Amino acid sequence: MSNRLPARQRGVALLIVLWVLVLMSIVSGTLSLLARAENLEARTLFDGTRARMGAVAGIQRAVLEMRNPDQQSKWIADGRGYQFQLDDMLVTVEIIDESGKLDLNAATPELLLNLMLSHSDDPQQAEALVDAILDWRDPDEAVRPLGAEADSYAAAGLSWIPPNQPFVTVEELQQVLGMTYPLYKQLEPALTVFSGRADINAGFAPVEALLALPEMDLAAAQSFIDLREQQSGLDRQPLALPDGSMALVQGGGLTYSVRSRGTLNNGAFAQVEATFRLGTDLLGRPFRVVRWHEGVGSG
């Protein structure tokens, strides 16, 4: 008796074997793809963590430099970039002294108006925004000529009203009646709530804040910054502003904003932005962080 299967049965068996091989290939490929994806995810997470730690190291370095008693080697907090190598990572740090910005709670109406006019072709709209800012921060409910108090916000269909107290954060400016997000993004680099000054310290001011000064335009502001960055250490001399006044480029406040970026050789990076205030607190800490923001990415 023959043990050979009929040709039809052999064909079915071969087909089953082929389907099993195909399924095994699909399963094997899927597992290989999943393993590769998990490996890539782990590598991305690892690189992002390393880059973040490098960026945080840049914040710590900025604190150290701002406490450096040697004025000749001390970093200058006027927005110029500093770099240092950390193993295989490049860390880039920029520091701005908050005294170089307009304080939303203390800046004079004239400075605020100049800043608004530098970003608007409508003088009446600029004046209305300044009056609305002043109405937001003052303690009373009296409405300035072009300002806005509770009734104006209700008429505009808004669910909030002016608190009649100082701004807590710069981001709060977005809630002021008449402020748009595109305009806010242009103004934000020039503003602070930490300096307490009625004026700005031009020796540390970013280009956006310099535009609030009398007779200043973008070209003059950039030229001023170029001259300022040519000076360093104890050799820094006062610089002339367009209105003829002189700007001191030494001194400053105790609160600083820092942008620190850690970049790995493979292009992965992380950026941390922080604002810190120097001075020992009740717990004995030499500085206090008052704002923190971070993000990661890849090249």
**Given a cut of 90, is residue 235 above it in pLDDT?**
no
By residue count, the chain amounts to 299
**Beta partners for 94?**
81, 259
Please tell me the distance from the alpha carbon of residue 38 to that of residue 50, in angstroms, as a whole number: 18
- pLDDT tens for each residue of 67-111: 999 988 999 999 999 999 998 999 999 999 999 999 999 999 999
Q: Which pTM does this prediction carry?
A: 0.82
* Band (299; pLDDT cuts 50, 70, 90): low
State the angle between helix axes of 109-117 and 123-137 in degrees (0 to 180), rounded to the nearest 10: 140
The pLDDT assigned to 139 comes to 96
The pLDDT assigned to 45 comes to 85
Its CATH architecture, for the domain 104-246, is Orthogonal Bundle (1.10)
Please tell me the distance from the alpha carbon of residue 28 to that of residue 174, in angstroms, as a whole number: 54
- Structure-block tokens of residue 166: 């100082």
The pLDDT assigned to 10 comes to 64
Please tell me the distance from the alpha carbon of residue 243 to that of residue 8, in angstroms, as a whole number: 101
Least Cα distance to 188 among 127, 275, 92, 60 occurs for 275
**Given a cut of 80, is residue 113 above it in pLDDT?**
yes
Please tell me the distance from the alpha carbon of residue 291 to that of residue 276, in angstroms, as a whole number: 7
**Beta partners for 255?**
277
Strand ranges in 24-156 using DSSP code E only, listed in sequence order: 78-86, 89-97, 102-103
